[in-house]
Amino acid sequence: MSTANGNRSDNCAKGFDAIIGQQRQIHMLAAALQKNEVPHAMLFTGEAGVGKKTTAINFSKACNCERPMPLAGGAAFSGRLNPCGTCRPCRKIDSFSHPDFHYIKPPGATIRIEQIRALCSALALRPNEASLRIVVISDAHLLNAEAGNALLKILEEPPDKTVMILTAPEAADLLPTIVSRCRHFRFNPIPEDRLEAYLIETRGIPGEKAMVIASLAGGSIGRALSMEGDTSIMDLRRRVIEWMEILFKNPSGNDLYFSEAIAADKITLGLSLDIMKSWVRDLAIAKHTPEKIYNRDYRERLLALSEQADPDGLIEKADAVWQAERALKTNANPRLAVEAMVMKFSG
Protein backbone atom coordinates (compact mmCIF):
# COMPACT_ATOMS: atom_id res chain seq x y z
CA MET A 1 0.00 0.00 0.00
CA SER A 2 1.17 3.52 -0.67
CA THR A 3 0.10 7.04 -0.03
CA ALA A 4 -2.00 9.00 -2.51
CA ASN A 5 -1.69 12.51 -3.81
CA GLY A 6 -5.39 13.25 -3.71
CA ASN A 7 -6.67 16.80 -3.62
CA ARG A 8 -7.94 16.91 -0.05
CA SER A 9 -10.01 19.98 0.56
CA ASP A 10 -10.67 22.30 3.47
CA ASN A 11 -10.97 21.41 7.15
CA CYS A 12 -14.71 22.09 7.36
CA ALA A 13 -16.20 20.06 4.52
CA LYS A 14 -15.79 16.31 4.91
CA GLY A 15 -16.07 13.28 2.72
CA PHE A 16 -17.86 13.83 -0.56
CA ASP A 17 -18.68 17.42 0.44
CA ALA A 18 -14.97 18.30 0.19
CA ILE A 19 -14.92 17.47 -3.54
CA ILE A 20 -15.78 20.44 -5.74
CA GLY A 21 -17.15 20.51 -9.26
CA GLN A 22 -18.18 16.83 -9.44
CA GLN A 23 -21.68 16.86 -7.94
CA ARG A 24 -23.20 14.70 -10.66
CA GLN A 25 -20.61 11.97 -10.20
CA ILE A 26 -20.97 12.09 -6.39
CA HIS A 27 -24.76 11.79 -6.64
CA MET A 28 -24.46 8.80 -8.99
CA LEU A 29 -22.18 7.07 -6.49
CA ALA A 30 -24.48 7.98 -3.61
CA ALA A 31 -27.44 6.53 -5.51
CA ALA A 32 -25.54 3.26 -6.00
CA LEU A 33 -24.83 3.14 -2.26
CA GLN A 34 -28.42 3.91 -1.31
CA LYS A 35 -29.83 1.23 -3.60
CA ASN A 36 -27.13 -1.25 -2.57
CA GLU A 37 -26.24 -1.57 -6.26
CA VAL A 38 -22.53 -0.78 -6.15
CA PRO A 39 -20.85 -2.03 -9.38
CA HIS A 40 -18.09 -4.59 -8.86
CA ALA A 41 -15.79 -2.47 -11.02
CA MET A 42 -15.73 1.25 -11.85
CA LEU A 43 -13.54 3.41 -14.05
CA PHE A 44 -13.01 7.07 -13.13
CA THR A 45 -11.58 9.09 -16.03
CA GLY A 46 -10.59 12.73 -16.34
CA GLU A 47 -7.61 15.05 -16.30
CA ALA A 48 -5.12 14.92 -13.43
CA GLY A 49 -6.22 16.79 -10.32
CA VAL A 50 -9.98 16.93 -10.89
CA GLY A 51 -10.86 14.65 -7.95
CA LYS A 52 -10.78 11.06 -9.24
CA LYS A 53 -8.48 9.64 -6.58
CA THR A 54 -10.02 11.69 -3.79
CA THR A 55 -13.49 10.49 -4.78
CA ALA A 56 -12.29 6.87 -4.92
CA ILE A 57 -10.86 7.11 -1.40
CA ASN A 58 -13.99 8.80 -0.04
CA PHE A 59 -16.19 6.19 -1.70
CA SER A 60 -14.07 3.51 -0.01
CA LYS A 61 -14.74 5.20 3.33
CA ALA A 62 -18.46 5.61 2.58
CA CYS A 63 -18.78 1.87 2.00
CA ASN A 64 -17.40 1.13 5.46
CA CYS A 65 -18.07 4.23 7.60
CA GLU A 66 -19.47 3.61 11.08
CA ARG A 67 -20.94 7.11 11.50
CA PRO A 68 -22.03 8.29 8.05
CA MET A 69 -23.43 11.81 7.64
CA PRO A 70 -26.07 13.32 5.36
CA LEU A 71 -24.85 14.36 1.93
CA ALA A 72 -24.84 18.14 1.42
CA GLY A 73 -27.24 19.07 -1.35
CA GLY A 74 -28.47 15.50 -1.37
CA ALA A 75 -32.09 16.03 -0.39
CA ALA A 76 -33.10 13.37 -2.90
CA PHE A 77 -31.26 10.74 -0.87
CA SER A 78 -32.62 9.14 2.25
CA GLY A 79 -30.20 7.89 4.84
CA ARG A 80 -26.61 8.87 5.55
CA LEU A 81 -24.22 8.33 2.66
CA ASN A 82 -21.35 10.70 3.40
CA PRO A 83 -18.29 9.30 5.24
CA CYS A 84 -17.55 11.00 8.54
CA GLY A 85 -13.78 10.79 8.17
CA THR A 86 -13.29 10.31 11.90
CA CYS A 87 -14.45 6.76 12.72
CA ARG A 88 -11.98 3.89 12.90
CA PRO A 89 -12.52 2.54 9.33
CA CYS A 90 -12.36 6.06 7.83
CA ARG A 91 -9.12 6.85 9.66
CA LYS A 92 -7.57 3.53 8.66
CA ILE A 93 -8.46 4.07 5.01
CA ASP A 94 -7.09 7.61 5.16
CA SER A 95 -3.81 6.29 6.55
CA PHE A 96 -3.73 3.38 4.06
CA SER A 97 -3.57 0.90 6.95
CA HIS A 98 -6.98 -0.76 6.49
CA PRO A 99 -6.46 -4.47 5.73
CA ASP A 100 -9.36 -4.47 3.25
CA PHE A 101 -8.40 -1.31 1.39
CA HIS A 102 -5.84 -1.88 -1.34
CA TYR A 103 -4.30 1.11 -3.12
CA ILE A 104 -2.05 0.40 -6.10
CA LYS A 105 -0.10 2.97 -8.06
CA PRO A 106 2.87 2.70 -10.42
CA PRO A 107 6.18 2.58 -8.54
CA GLY A 108 7.86 3.88 -11.68
CA ALA A 109 6.84 4.13 -15.32
CA THR A 110 4.37 1.22 -15.14
CA ILE A 111 2.22 -0.88 -12.83
CA ARG A 112 3.96 -4.22 -12.75
CA ILE A 113 2.71 -7.79 -12.89
CA GLU A 114 4.12 -8.42 -9.39
CA GLN A 115 1.73 -5.83 -7.94
CA ILE A 116 -1.32 -7.48 -9.54
CA ARG A 117 -0.16 -10.95 -8.48
CA ALA A 118 0.12 -9.73 -4.89
CA LEU A 119 -3.37 -8.28 -5.20
CA CYS A 120 -4.70 -11.62 -6.50
CA SER A 121 -3.26 -13.37 -3.46
CA ALA A 122 -4.88 -10.86 -1.10
CA LEU A 123 -8.26 -11.09 -2.82
CA ALA A 124 -8.22 -14.88 -2.59
CA LEU A 125 -8.78 -14.46 1.16
CA ARG A 126 -11.98 -13.33 2.81
CA PRO A 127 -12.25 -9.65 3.84
CA ASN A 128 -10.92 -9.10 7.36
CA GLU A 129 -13.36 -6.53 8.69
CA ALA A 130 -14.86 -4.48 5.85
CA SER A 131 -18.44 -4.53 4.65
CA LEU A 132 -17.02 -4.01 1.18
CA ARG A 133 -13.38 -4.57 0.32
CA ILE A 134 -12.12 -1.81 -1.99
CA VAL A 135 -9.28 -1.88 -4.49
CA VAL A 136 -8.16 1.43 -6.02
CA ILE A 137 -5.77 1.20 -8.97
CA SER A 138 -4.45 4.69 -9.61
CA ASP A 139 -3.21 5.56 -13.11
CA ALA A 140 -4.49 2.26 -14.45
CA HIS A 141 -3.48 3.32 -17.97
CA LEU A 142 0.10 2.57 -16.84
CA LEU A 143 -0.57 -1.14 -16.38
CA ASN A 144 2.00 -3.03 -18.45
CA ALA A 145 0.72 -5.75 -20.78
CA GLU A 146 1.19 -8.60 -18.30
CA ALA A 147 -0.37 -6.65 -15.45
CA GLY A 148 -3.32 -5.63 -17.63
CA ASN A 149 -4.05 -9.23 -18.59
CA ALA A 150 -3.78 -10.37 -14.97
CA LEU A 151 -6.19 -7.63 -13.88
CA LEU A 152 -8.61 -8.66 -16.60
CA LYS A 153 -8.83 -12.13 -15.09
CA ILE A 154 -9.84 -10.60 -11.75
CA LEU A 155 -12.50 -8.48 -13.44
CA GLU A 156 -13.87 -11.49 -15.31
CA GLU A 157 -14.38 -13.38 -12.03
CA PRO A 158 -14.77 -10.62 -9.40
CA PRO A 159 -14.26 -11.74 -5.79
CA ASP A 160 -17.22 -11.55 -3.44
CA LYS A 161 -17.76 -8.31 -1.49
CA THR A 162 -15.05 -6.56 -3.46
CA VAL A 163 -15.24 -3.34 -5.47
CA MET A 164 -12.48 -2.25 -7.84
CA ILE A 165 -11.99 1.38 -8.85
CA LEU A 166 -9.60 2.25 -11.67
CA THR A 167 -8.51 5.81 -12.47
CA ALA A 168 -7.10 6.99 -15.80
CA PRO A 169 -7.10 10.10 -18.01
CA GLU A 170 -9.15 8.47 -20.79
CA ALA A 171 -10.98 5.18 -21.27
CA ALA A 172 -9.12 4.80 -24.57
CA ASP A 173 -5.86 4.53 -22.62
CA LEU A 174 -6.92 1.10 -21.27
CA LEU A 175 -7.57 -2.28 -22.84
CA PRO A 176 -11.13 -2.28 -24.27
CA THR A 177 -11.77 -5.58 -22.50
CA ILE A 178 -10.98 -3.92 -19.14
CA VAL A 179 -13.15 -0.87 -19.91
CA SER A 180 -16.09 -3.07 -20.93
CA ARG A 181 -16.14 -4.66 -17.48
CA CYS A 182 -16.29 -1.34 -15.61
CA ARG A 183 -19.00 1.23 -15.04
CA HIS A 184 -17.58 4.46 -16.42
CA PHE A 185 -17.66 7.77 -14.52
CA ARG A 186 -16.27 10.78 -16.38
CA PHE A 187 -14.88 13.55 -14.16
CA ASN A 188 -15.05 16.96 -15.79
CA PRO A 189 -12.64 19.90 -15.47
CA ILE A 190 -13.73 22.12 -12.59
CA PRO A 191 -15.37 25.33 -13.87
CA GLU A 192 -13.05 28.31 -13.57
CA ASP A 193 -15.45 30.34 -11.44
CA ARG A 194 -15.89 27.43 -8.99
CA LEU A 195 -12.14 26.95 -8.76
CA GLU A 196 -11.52 30.66 -8.25
CA ALA A 197 -14.16 30.82 -5.49
CA TYR A 198 -12.63 27.77 -3.79
CA LEU A 199 -9.16 29.33 -3.81
CA ILE A 200 -10.48 32.58 -2.33
CA GLU A 201 -12.93 31.21 0.22
CA THR A 202 -11.18 28.05 1.34
CA ARG A 203 -7.49 28.65 0.73
CA GLY A 204 -7.51 32.38 1.49
CA ILE A 205 -5.74 33.32 -1.74
CA PRO A 206 -6.11 37.00 -2.75
CA GLY A 207 -8.65 37.61 -5.51
CA GLU A 208 -6.29 38.59 -8.34
CA LYS A 209 -3.93 35.68 -7.72
CA ALA A 210 -6.88 33.27 -7.40
CA MET A 211 -8.18 34.49 -10.76
CA VAL A 212 -4.79 33.92 -12.40
CA ILE A 213 -4.31 30.46 -10.90
CA ALA A 214 -7.85 29.41 -11.85
CA SER A 215 -7.28 30.58 -15.43
CA LEU A 216 -4.06 28.55 -15.71
CA ALA A 217 -5.13 25.41 -13.85
CA GLY A 218 -7.12 23.92 -16.72
CA GLY A 219 -9.95 22.89 -14.42
CA SER A 220 -7.62 20.92 -12.13
CA ILE A 221 -7.72 21.65 -8.41
CA GLY A 222 -4.57 19.60 -7.96
CA ARG A 223 -2.73 21.79 -10.40
CA ALA A 224 -4.16 24.94 -8.83
CA LEU A 225 -2.91 23.90 -5.40
CA SER A 226 0.53 23.17 -6.81
CA MET A 227 0.69 26.81 -7.95
CA GLU A 228 -0.71 28.19 -4.70
CA GLY A 229 2.63 28.73 -3.02
CA ASP A 230 4.41 30.07 -6.10
CA THR A 231 5.12 33.70 -5.20
CA SER A 232 6.58 34.44 -8.64
CA ILE A 233 3.56 33.38 -10.68
CA MET A 234 2.12 36.91 -10.97
CA ASP A 235 5.42 38.41 -12.10
CA LEU A 236 5.99 35.59 -14.61
CA ARG A 237 2.52 36.07 -16.05
CA ARG A 238 3.04 39.82 -16.42
CA ARG A 239 6.34 39.32 -18.22
CA VAL A 240 5.04 36.60 -20.58
CA ILE A 241 1.97 38.65 -21.53
CA GLU A 242 4.14 41.70 -22.17
CA TRP A 243 6.40 39.58 -24.39
CA MET A 244 3.34 38.24 -26.22
CA GLU A 245 1.99 41.73 -26.84
CA ILE A 246 5.33 42.90 -28.22
CA LEU A 247 5.69 39.78 -30.36
CA PHE A 248 2.15 40.21 -31.66
CA LYS A 249 2.75 43.82 -32.69
CA ASN A 250 6.26 43.39 -34.10
CA PRO A 251 7.13 39.70 -34.46
CA SER A 252 10.17 39.85 -36.72
CA GLY A 253 12.11 42.24 -34.51
CA ASN A 254 11.63 40.42 -31.23
CA ASP A 255 11.50 36.70 -31.95
CA LEU A 256 15.09 35.93 -30.94
CA TYR A 257 14.82 37.87 -27.68
CA PHE A 258 11.51 36.16 -26.85
CA SER A 259 12.95 32.69 -27.52
CA GLU A 260 15.89 33.33 -25.23
CA ALA A 261 13.73 34.84 -22.49
CA ILE A 262 11.07 32.12 -22.34
CA ALA A 263 13.46 29.15 -22.71
CA ALA A 264 15.96 30.45 -20.15
CA ASP A 265 14.19 28.95 -17.14
CA LYS A 266 13.30 25.28 -17.69
CA ILE A 267 11.40 25.17 -14.40
CA THR A 268 8.89 27.83 -15.45
CA LEU A 269 8.80 26.97 -19.15
CA GLY A 270 5.68 24.81 -18.88
CA LEU A 271 3.82 27.50 -16.96
CA SER A 272 4.96 30.12 -19.49
CA LEU A 273 3.44 28.05 -22.29
CA ASP A 274 0.19 27.77 -20.31
CA ILE A 275 0.12 31.57 -19.96
CA MET A 276 0.69 31.89 -23.70
CA LYS A 277 -2.15 29.50 -24.49
CA SER A 278 -4.47 31.39 -22.17
CA TRP A 279 -3.54 34.72 -23.75
CA VAL A 280 -3.95 33.50 -27.36
CA ARG A 281 -7.26 31.90 -26.45
CA ASP A 282 -8.49 35.17 -24.92
CA LEU A 283 -7.37 37.13 -27.96
CA ALA A 284 -9.29 34.76 -30.23
CA ILE A 285 -12.59 35.17 -28.35
CA ALA A 286 -12.25 38.78 -27.14
CA LYS A 287 -14.14 40.38 -30.00
CA HIS A 288 -17.19 38.12 -29.89
CA THR A 289 -17.42 36.78 -26.30
CA PRO A 290 -15.44 39.17 -24.09
CA GLU A 291 -17.31 37.94 -21.02
CA LYS A 292 -15.45 34.62 -21.33
CA ILE A 293 -11.96 36.13 -21.20
CA TYR A 294 -9.77 34.33 -18.65
CA ASN A 295 -7.28 37.15 -18.11
CA ARG A 296 -9.89 39.63 -17.00
CA ASP A 297 -7.39 42.20 -15.76
CA TYR A 298 -6.08 42.45 -19.37
CA ARG A 299 -9.54 42.71 -20.88
CA GLU A 300 -9.22 46.19 -22.42
CA ARG A 301 -5.81 45.48 -23.91
CA LEU A 302 -7.06 42.18 -25.35
CA LEU A 303 -10.09 43.90 -26.87
CA ALA A 304 -7.88 46.51 -28.52
CA LEU A 305 -5.50 43.90 -29.96
CA SER A 306 -8.36 41.71 -31.15
CA GLU A 307 -9.37 44.39 -33.64
CA GLN A 308 -6.23 43.71 -35.67
CA ALA A 309 -6.02 39.95 -35.02
CA ASP A 310 -6.38 37.46 -37.86
CA PRO A 311 -8.51 34.49 -36.68
CA ASP A 312 -6.63 31.99 -38.83
CA GLY A 313 -3.33 33.38 -37.60
CA LEU A 314 -4.44 32.97 -33.99
CA ILE A 315 -5.33 29.33 -34.62
CA GLU A 316 -1.83 28.80 -36.04
CA LYS A 317 -0.27 30.51 -33.01
CA ALA A 318 -2.27 28.36 -30.59
CA ASP A 319 -1.24 25.25 -32.52
CA ALA A 320 2.40 26.37 -32.36
CA VAL A 321 2.22 26.52 -28.55
CA TRP A 322 0.60 23.08 -28.35
CA GLN A 323 3.27 21.64 -30.64
CA ALA A 324 5.98 23.09 -28.41
CA GLU A 325 4.30 21.46 -25.38
CA ARG A 326 4.16 18.10 -27.13
CA ALA A 327 7.81 18.40 -28.17
CA LEU A 328 8.89 19.13 -24.60
CA LYS A 329 6.97 16.07 -23.34
CA THR A 330 9.13 13.95 -25.66
CA ASN A 331 12.29 15.48 -24.15
CA ALA A 332 13.03 17.78 -27.08
CA ASN A 333 15.62 20.51 -26.60
CA PRO A 334 13.70 23.36 -24.87
CA ARG A 335 15.50 26.13 -26.76
CA LEU A 336 14.89 24.50 -30.15
CA ALA A 337 11.24 23.78 -29.32
CA VAL A 338 10.64 27.39 -28.30
CA GLU A 339 12.47 28.75 -31.34
CA ALA A 340 10.35 26.60 -33.65
CA MET A 341 7.23 27.91 -31.92
CA VAL A 342 8.29 31.57 -32.15
CA MET A 343 9.20 31.18 -35.84
CA LYS A 344 5.57 30.24 -36.48
CA PHE A 345 4.51 33.31 -34.53
CA SER A 346 6.70 35.43 -36.79
CA GLY A 347 5.66 33.78 -40.03
Q: What does the pLDDT look like over 163-218, one tens digit per residue?
A: 999 999 999 999 999 999 999 999 999 998 999 999 999 899 998 889 989 988 88
Here the contacts of 295-302 (C-beta below 8 Å, separation 24 or greater) are 295/212, 295/215, 295/241, 296/211, 297/208, 297/211, 298/241, 301/245
Contact 115, 2 (CB under 8 A): no
User: Collapsing DSSP states into helix, strand and coil, what is residue 14?
Assistant: coil
Looking from the CA of 19 toward its CB, the CA atoms found within 13 Å total 26
Task: Say which amino acid occupies 77.
Answer: F
Here the contacts of 237-245 (C-beta below 8 Å, separation 24 or greater) are 237/212, 237/275, 240/272, 240/275, 240/276, 240/279, 241/275, 241/279, 241/295, 241/298, 244/276, 244/279, 244/280, 245/301, 245/305
β-pairing, 162-168 with 101-104? unpaired
Question: End-to-end CA distance of the chain, in Å?
Answer: 53
d(CA 178, CA 166) in angstroms, rounded, equals 10
| List of domains in the chain | 15-186 (3.40.50.300), 230-346 (1.20.272)
The residues facing 134 across adjacent strands are 101, 163
Element (H, E) at 118: helix 113-123
Threshold 0.85, pTM exceeds = no
Looking from the CA of 131 toward its CB, the CA atoms found within 13 Å total 13
Could you report the per-residue pLDDT of 244-261, keeping only the tens digit for each?
888 887 766 666 777 888
The residues facing 44 across adjacent strands are 167, 185
Contact 93, 101 (CB under 8 A): yes
| pLDDT tens for the 347 residues of the chain, in order | 333 433 433 445 678 988 998 999 999 999 999 998 999 999 999 999 999 999 999 999 999 999 999 887 665 666 678 999 999 999 999 999 999 999 999 999 999 999 999 999 999 999 998 889 999 999 999 999 999 999 999 999 999 999 999 999 999 999 999 999 999 999 999 998 999 999 999 899 998 889 989 988 889 998 899 888 777 888 888 889 988 888 887 766 666 777 888 887 778 888 889 899 999 999 999 989 998 888 888 999 999 998 888 888 888 888 989 999 888 888 888 888 888 888 877 65
